[in-house]
Amino acid sequence: MTNSLQALFQAIAQAQDETELKQPIMAILGEYFAATRWGLSFLDQFPIVDANTPGMLKLALSVDYNPILRYLIQRHAVVHEEMILPHGMWQTICPRPDHGHVMLGPIISRSQLVGGIGFTRHQDSPPFNAENLADLSALCLHLSTRLAELRAASQILQGAQSVIHLNRDRATSPIENRLTPRERQIADLVAQGLTNAQIGTALWITEHSVKQALKRMFRKLEISSRAELAARLTKPSIAVNH
């Protein structure tokens, strides 16, 4: 074993995304456990089991047929075949030589099982033991924690990007698409320097109606002054017929 547990914990903590957790972190863990095969899988990425699923894969993903998977799902705990099955029984369930010994561990998020980490050894290799289980239990804790951090950071980033895109759309949206024709008339007269009373006279509406229209326009455009309104205009004044 070329890596210590502390080095593995550090490698997991430094993973930048889920892809890095799957590879190369998993390759390092595979070497640590002297495994033939290894993998990190998430439940929401499992293949759909139906009539077209190959027989061996269907059995492997069946909790009724696979006691190792059933133990993981029911208890959210690490497990290897000789922990729950009589010696040699696993080979009758899974005849693949490179899956002669198997060990699984849970990935937990918000008290829910969201995935699992698995290792196999060739049937001619020694089975996994209690020390392997203890190490995997510690590693699953660190993997679960790092996964939760990465997913939380991703959600925050997506939220920030949504706000940026929304603000950008608002900033670049033509003002005529956001104001009614009457509001645009009022905006053009504001830009010309007319008072509310003068605008009301020009448009044959009351001064109060002008004030209320300006409040609505300020909210729509997320501005707070007549100067900002004038600055937002992108077209020349609309002629007003008296």
Residue range 60-119, pLDDT digits in tens: 667 788 999 999 999 999 999 999 999 889 988 888 899 999 999 999 988 899 999 999
Which pLDDT does position 167 carry in this prediction?
59
Fold for 5-154, please state it.
Beta-Lactamase (3.30.450)
pLDDT band for 50, please (50, 70, 90 cuts). low
Which pLDDT does position 235 carry in this prediction?
43
Mean pLDDT in the chain?
84
Amino acid type, 143: L
Fold for 175-232, please state it.
Arc Repressor Mutant, subunit A (1.10.10)
User: What are the φ and ψ backbone dihedral angles of 79, each rounded to 5 degrees?
Assistant: -160, 150
Q: How many residues does the chain have?
A: 242
What are the boundaries of each domain within the chain?
5-154, 175-232
Over residues 144-166, the pLDDT tens digits come to 999 989 988 877 766 666 665 65
Residue 60 to residue 182: CA distance in whole angstroms? 68
Residue 104 to residue 133: CA distance in whole angstroms? 9
Total-model pTM: 0.63
Q: Measuring CA to CA, how many Å separate 101 from each of 3, 75, 82, 141, 180?
A: 22, 20, 8, 23, 71
